[in-house]
Amino acid sequence: MKNSQFIELYLILNQRQRKDFRNYLASPLFNTNSKLVIYQEKIDQFLDLGLDQLKSRLFKYLYPNEIYKDVKLRLLFSELLKHLKNYIYIEEKQNEDQDRELSFIRFLRKGQKINLFEKQANAFRKEILSKKNNWNPDHFELRYQVDLELLSYESTKNRFSYYDFAESSETIEVSSMLKRLRIYLEQLSHESIGATSMEYPFIQPWVDYAESKNWSKYPEVHIYLLALKMYREPDEESHFNEYLLLIRKYENDFDFERGREIFLTALNYCIRKINKNNTQFFKQTMDLFQHCVRTGWLLDYGVMSSLTYKNIIALCIRMKDLELAIKLLNEYKNLVNPIGRTTIYNFNLAKIYKEQGNFNQALYLLNTSVFKDPLIELNARVEMIKIYFEIKEERLMHNQIIATQNLIKRSKKLGYHKEYYNNFLNAAHRLYLTKKLTPLDKEAWLQSIKGNNHLIEKGWLYSMVDKIKSSKE
């Protein structure tokens, strides 16, 4: 059993879902094998050890006097997988159950089953309100739908009867506001990495209105408004600190899609800080990366993208923590898609070799690997350019710069990335040509590197320029 489908699926669940799954197993309505509850607790205990260690430790616990046999665990994981699929089905059905309840209430109103309608509608509304301390943007739309049914009933019962229109109106407006903010933040995320800026109509009046009505009292709105401030006022780090506290508080309530968006917003803020040479955000960013891997926010169906894998190792290197880089290189390897896993592993290993001064080993891996992802291919060429400069192989450096420029010209899949890489190549070519600099010219170049937000490898360029010998004015 090279892989366990149960473990792969279980790793996708967030902490709330894992807790709910344990409760599911503990219920005799769904599971009659009480031992599975204990086995699942052991799996949770060993989950961070990796699949091979998990299986070894679990088998030793289950069969302490027997030689390891994979088939016995396969039967256990098969039984757990059956229950996990059923749990996922039940959880996915929960929202549909609410829709079904709403349809039933509507049916009772139209059928003029007044007593039953009043009882069901008020009970359902009370149930929704009882969960208002949880984080769930969908509750506002659902609550509005229930209120609409009650309004329709009241209008037929007595057109002069009192109805709280203001409360119902705010509910639907909050629901609409959350949808606007969510899509606007996605737009800002794309713009922050170079996508074309677009105007989003009426967003500011909506934000002003939400703040005037104190909608930040709703944690759903508060989180999105803080995210917006993080884009608009990036120097006010208090917004980020408050955002981080809130998302940690409500994390167990997030579904995968929203949770991923929310934590990526936090990560992207940290990365933008790092790109402006704010080294104080190194540790915070790494903590977020590791947290999002553990909880699954950075995994698509349990799979880590090559780009995420590369970025994590690159951050370790920028932190000058090669021990952590090697640890995560191997720990996260099996999370990466098998297609392309070896090449991205070799690329990351080459970067580590370079930092260790093992330039020949780094160049061997970079020259012998075939990178199908055009961005990884470009990154590999950038690493070779850096190595050639540092080992003073100027002719090879120059040839690689020319070859990489030609590759960029031919590529049709790079989009806005072209500008970033071309800016690096121009800077690298200037490095190749420059032997000495006046102090004023050096300082001007260093400042231009720091101020250029469309440039990769700023830290390396800054370091190399800073080492250039100074000439007299």
How far apart CA 146 and CA 108 sit, in angstroms, is: 13
How far apart CA 15 and CA 418 sit, in angstroms, is: 40
Query: Which of 321, 391, 380 is closest to 351 using CA atoms?
Result: 380
How far apart CA 418 and CA 424 sit, in angstroms, is: 10
Tens digit of pLDDT for each residue in 59-115? Answer: 999 999 888 888 888 888 999 999 999 998 887 776 566 777 888 888 888 888 888
Regions of the chain with pLDDT less than 70: 1-3, 94-97, 132-133, 155-166, 192-200, 470-473
> Does an H or E element contain 132, and which?
none
Are the C-beta atoms of 375 and 417 separated by less than 8 Å? yes
Query: Which of 149, 193, 147 is closest to 167 using CA atoms?
Result: 147
For the CA atoms of 11, 12, 14, 18, what is the dihedral angle to 10 degrees? -50
Cα–Cα distances in Å, from 432 out to 199, 419, 426, 451?
Answer: 42, 20, 10, 21
Are the C-beta atoms of 279 and 452 separated by less than 8 Å? no
How far apart CA 35 and CA 76 sit, in angstroms, is: 11
How far apart CA 289 and CA 121 sit, in angstroms, is: 44
| Number of helices followed by number of strands (H, E) in the chain | 22, 4
Query: Which of 342, 282, 338, 340 is closest to 312 using CA atoms?
Result: 282
Which residue stretches of 411-457 are H helix? 417-433, 439-451
Classify residue 438 as left (phi > 0), alpha (psi -120 to 50) or beta. beta
- The single-letter code of the amino acid at 454 is H
Instruction: Kindly write down the DSSP assignment for every residue of 358-399, as one continuous string.
Output: -HHHHHHHHHH----SHHHHHHHHHHHHHHHHHTT-HHHHHH
- Residue in the block written with tokens 């903590």: 287
How far apart CA 97 and CA 20 sit, in angstroms, is: 17
| C-beta neighbour count of 470 within 10 angstroms | 12
* pLDDT score of 1: 45
How far apart CA 83 and CA 29 sit, in angstroms, is: 12
The set of residues, in sequence order, having a beta carbon less than 8 Å from that of 288 and lying 6+ positions away, is 263, 266, 267, 270
Helix %, strand %, coil % for the chain, to 5?
75, 0, 20
Domain ranges of the chain: 5-172, 373-473
Cα–Cα distances in Å, from 138 out to 104, 130, 249?
Answer: 19, 14, 18
Classify residue 464 as left (phi > 0), alpha (psi -120 to 50) or beta. alpha
> Does an H or E element contain 300, and which?
strand 299-300
Q: At what angle do helices 256-275 and 306-318 cross, to 10 degrees?
A: 40
How far apart CA 270 and CA 260 sit, in angstroms, is: 15
How far apart CA 114 and CA 276 sit, in angstroms, is: 64
* pLDDT score of 160: 47
Instruction: Kindly write down the DSSP assignment for every residue of 435-447, as one continuous string.
Output: SEE-HHHHHHHHH
